[in-house]
Amino acid sequence: MILGLFSAPQGRKKAVNSRQLSVEIRQEEECPCSPKEMAKSEPPAGIDPGVMESILQKKDERISSQQEAITEKDNEILMLRQHLGDMCLKQSENSFRHKLEVGELERQKKIMITRLSTLARDLHDNEALHQYAVLVREAAPSKIDSSNESSYVEKVQSQLCKALHQVGAWGNQLSVLKTSCEEAVSSLQKEIVELEKEITKAEIEHMNAIKEKERENKDMRNEYESMLKIQQETIAKLEKELENERSQKE
């Protein structure tokens, strides 16, 4: 009897310890993670873990999409800047070449005008005519008779016709050359004006395009930062709720 009285409490104590041990083993089997990991993985009361995971996944996808779009915009801006630089360099080269051509034509025009002025002055110069008359007189025979007078006159007339014809040809050539130079200079000057207009227009268009891309890029960055901030706040809020719930359970 005495042994029975002392042995019964020990049996009940063993049974209680056995039940506690089985409960602890069952808890460890159901949640093998550490308390810290359990606090992170456990969702707050009333929130479906699948829904929360889906929300975070969608936000991650949107953030990733925004990052890709920002990178694409940066590449577009870089390409536009490179294209603008290449175009400005090419237009500057063309403009410089046209200016050189205009300068050369202006120089040729001045030379032709100088020659034409010299020729016109010589044609109307009495001293030059006097010298020509002296040369003709010196070329005349000392004794003029009826036999050689006619040949002398014909010879002088022939030389005079040749000289006049040559002078007329020079005058026509100089006139044509002067007109051609003036037309070429005028055409190149117009091309330079049009080229400068095109350069200015293209620069304005490219600068506007760059500004628009930069504005879009800035808006996308602001949206990305806002989404990232919201996600961080959401994660911090969830972690705080998990910690509160964990502390309440303890």
Helix axes 126-139, 146-249, angle to 10 degrees: 140
Q: What is the mean pLDDT of residues 34-56?
A: 52
Answer with the residue of higher pLDDT: 250 or 215. 215
pLDDT at 184: 76
User: In which domain, by residue range, is 107 found?
Assistant: 92-137+164-230
* Percentage of residues of the chain with pLDDT beyond 90: 0
* Residue 147 domain flag: no
Q: Highest-confidence range of 45-59, 107-121, 213-227, by mean pLDDT?
A: 213-227
* Residue 223 domain flag: yes
**Three-state secondary-structure class, residue 59:** helix
How far is 198 from 114, CA to CA, in rounded Å?
36
Contact 224, 66 (CB under 8 A): yes
* Residue 153 domain flag: no
* Residue 51 domain flag: no
* Residue 155 domain flag: no
Six token digits for residue 113: 């005008």
198-238 per-position pLDDT tens digit: 777 877 887 887 788 788 877 877 887 887 788 788 778 87
* Residue 196 domain flag: yes
Q: What's the structural domain count of the chain?
A: 1
* Residue 65 domain flag: no
Contact 98, 196 (CB under 8 A): no
Which sign does the torsion angle of CA 155, 156, 161, 163 carry?
A: positive
pLDDT at 22: 45
* Residue 175 domain flag: yes
How far is 71 from 66, CA to CA, in rounded Å?
9
| pLDDT at position 193 over 60 | yes
Alpha helices in the chain (DSSP H): 2-30, 35-41, 49-123, 126-139, 146-249
